Amino acid sequence: MIELKKSKSFAGPEGPVVLVIMDGVGIGKNPESDFVKQAKTPNLTWLHENALYTELRAHGVAVGLPDDGDMGNSEVGHNAIGCGRVFEQGAALVGKAIASGAMYADGSVWQELVSNVNDRSSTLHFIGLFSDGNVHSNLNHLESMLRKAKEQGVKKARVHALIDGRDVPPTSALDYVERFDAFLKEINADGTVDYCVASGGGRMNITMDRYDANWDMVKRGWATHVKAEGRTFASMKEAVETFRVENPGILDQDLPAFLIERDGAPVGPIVDGDSVIFFNFRGDRSLEITKAFEADELKEFDRGPKPDVLYAGMMQYDGDLGVPARYLVTPPAIDRTMSEYLSNAGVKQLAISETQKYGHMTYFFNGNNSGKFPTETWKEILSDVCPFEDAPRMKADEITDVVVQAIESGEYKFIRLNFPNGDMVGHTGVVSAVKLAVEAVDENVGRIMDALKKANGIMVCTADHGNADDMCELDKKTGALVLDEQGRNKPKTAHSLNPVPGIVYDPSGAANARLADVPEAGIASLAATCITLLGFEPPEDYAASIVEVG
């Protein structure tokens, strides 16, 4: 059994250590684009000036992504925070598996899927996020797989495109459509294959729900991709342009579902005998559509007859559940998480968020595993099913109610929570709502501070990545605002490349904590930080704590 050693310099606080993850609340580079800075945040301002405060890296190689041009995301961020080390993540693993050819090796799931369609003269389908955002997917991976499919004799392939606009600019869809149309023209040019787009829609409209928040999204996706039910167009470009005319100002992520037809009929329903690849590598928004394809019985919606297909995910999305049954690339083997160490030490733990980030505080925090450790209690506050800009406070108040009660009870020594506001409202691009969202987080951080004063506990306050801190497009060279033809700011809904705060608040001063010298520290250092503040010695291979105690 893996065990922690007791610290020789500090026995831990009288009250709990509380880890507050302010999702999407980073440190902006331009005040005009930084709606964390523009919001009223008296508590965060006080902490900046009076508590231990540093900046932490939350993107790129610091969280296991291929390079520092890759924005962080909630999945890899919570992995890094929870396991205290940096593992190569989905984008890097898939890229290497494709480049090396390992994904296509003899006996692989890929070969099983290809052999199925070649033997049956059936169709190979690809469903996934249609961008190069590198958070859930990468269009380069799709194009590589289609080239390999042609090389291996697959005659017919269909793509079901989930339009992005969250991990990439909010109205950039046609950039990817035009690129992919050119790719299809080239790959189809010799007349030996028939590869085309079959269906699609905005990622926040169809298919990519998570945490059982809104199964109607999956139902709409199923009707679109599998049943080929819905509005038809001659091309994906025509669909996007038509929806924009009909709904001025609509963001890509919200585009309605569409079908592509040829000769008066949809080109790509998914039918018995086909093979299907869901090419997203990130797990949270992949599990529900995977369940729709794999479950013998499905209670969440009436899917009709389940087609007899071979289905695979790009990666395994849940190691505990073994989902999906087939996957192309093995995910990182994350072990020895902070939760496991603390459980073995007998530390009672509470993990809490609302539905939108509940899985991040549990599944992702515990290394992509859905099972809890013996001393853990998990608490989910149900999220509202409505546009996030309409209710920017989300469930911050309700989360804090439970946390304050837990602090006062003395039952838990370690409490971890996620306020989703800065990220979920940040993705909407509605900056007036973003300010309210950040202010709600600040207010509730203050409530937690007050409770910890009375309980003689310690707060570690941080974020998993930035978002609300970077709400307008900035010139990459100058950092100045990029304006459109009307002189208006161009909205940005993706995560940022900015650092995030690393704050330690110890109102009693019992830890005698001081900042440690950790050059270019990343959020992976937060696990060792919490373990140190709880009165233990962190594992030797964990990223170094940002504080020293005693």
Determine whether the annotation assigns residue 70 to a binding site: no
The residue whose two tokens read 């289905």 is: 311
Determine whether the annotation assigns residue 283 to a binding site: yes
Alpha helices, DSSP H only, in 138-285?
139-151, 173-187, 215-225, 236-246
CA angle 313, 282, 202 (to 5 degrees): 90
Determine whether the annotation assigns residue 423 to a binding site: yes
62 DSSP 8-state letter: G
DSSP assignment string, 80-102:
HHHHSS----HHHHHHHHHHHSG
Determine whether the annotation assigns residue 210 to a binding site: yes
CA distance 511 to 11: 9
Determine whether the annotation assigns residue 469 to a binding site: no
Residue 310: beta bridge partners?
Answer: 275
Residue of 7, 33, 74, 286 marked catalytic? 74
Determine whether the annotation assigns residue 175 to a binding site: no
483 DSSP 8-state letter: B
Query: Catalytic residue at 353?
Result: no
CA distance 31 to 213: 34
The residue whose two tokens read 């019992």 is: 510
Joined together, the tokens standing for residue 183 give 């790719």
Joined together, the tokens standing for residue 435 give 């300010």
Element at 444 (helix H, strand E): helix 431-455
Determine whether the annotation assigns residue 302 to a binding site: no
Determine whether the annotation assigns residue 48 to a binding site: no
CA distance 84 to 522: 10
Listed in order, strand segments (DSSP E) in 385-426 are 414-419
Determine whether the annotation assigns residue 136 to a binding site: yes
Determine whether the annotation assigns residue 167 to a binding site: yes
Joined together, the tokens standing for residue 339 give 């939760």
CA distance 78 to 463: 9
Determine whether the annotation assigns residue 166 to a binding site: yes
Determine whether the annotation assigns residue 393 to a binding site: no
Joined together, the tokens standing for residue 519 give 């050059």
Collapsed DSSP state (helix, strand, coil) of residue 478: coil
Determine whether the annotation assigns residue 490 to a binding site: no
Q: Which residues are designated catalytic?
A: 74
Tell me the binding residues: 23, 74, 136, 166-167, 203, 210, 282-285, 357, 423, 427, 464-465, 495
Tell me the binding residues for substrate: 136, 166-167, 203, 210, 282-285, 357
Tell me the binding residues for Mn(2+): 23, 74, 423, 427, 464-465, 495
